[in-house]
Amino acid sequence: MTEAHADSAMDADLARLASIDLNLLVPLLALLEERSVTKAAGKVGLSQPAMSHGLSRTRRLLNDDLLVRQGRSMVLTPRAAELIAPLRQVLDQAARIVSASSFDPAVDTRLITVAMTNSTAFVIGSELSRLLAERAPNAVLRLRTTSSATSTAFAEEAADVVLLPEAFPMPHPRERLYDDRWMVIASWNEPREADALQLLKTVSHVFPDEPSERLRPYEILDEKKIPYRVRQRVSDHLFVPHLIAQSGGGVAVHRYQVGLEFEGRFDLRVEEFPFPIDPLGIDMIWNPWLAEGAFKSWLREILIEAAEPLRARYVSSG
Query: What is the bridge-based pairing of β-strands 161-165 and 111-116?
Result: parallel
pLDDT, position 13: 59
- CATH 1.10.10.10 residue ranges of the chain are 16-99
35-49 burial, b for 16+ CB within 10 Å, e for fewer? ebbeebbebbebeee
What letter would DSSP give residue 25?
A: H
The CATH number of the domain covering residues in 111-177+280-317: 3.40.190.10
pLDDT, position 95: 67
Cα gap 112→90, rounded to integer Å = 17
- CATH 3.40.190.10 residue ranges of the chain are 111-177+280-317, 182-272
Average pLDDT, the chain: 84
**Residues of the chain under the 70 pLDDT cut:** 1-19, 95-101, 147-153, 155-157, 210-214, 291-292, 317-318
Q: Which CATH number fits the domain 182-272, given the four candidates 3.40.190.10, 3.30.230.70, 3.90.25.10, 3.40.50.2300?
A: 3.40.190.10
Contacts of 70 by beta carbon, 8 Å cutoff, 6+ apart: none
Cα gap 145→130, rounded to integer Å = 18
Cα gap 105→125, rounded to integer Å = 19
User: Which residue from 61, 64, 70 is spatially nearest to 82, judged by alpha carbons?
Assistant: 64
CA atoms within 13 Å, Cβ hemisphere of 252: 29
> How distant, in Å, are the alpha carbons of 22, 31, 175 from that of 76?
21, 10, 32
pLDDT, position 50: 85
Three-state secondary structure call for residue 317: helix
Q: Which amino acid is at 245?
A: A
May I ask the CATH class of domain 16-99?
Answer: mainly alpha
How many other CB atoms sit within 10 Å of the CB of residue 17?
Answer: 9
For the question of whether the overall pTM of this predicted structure is more than 0.75, the answer is no
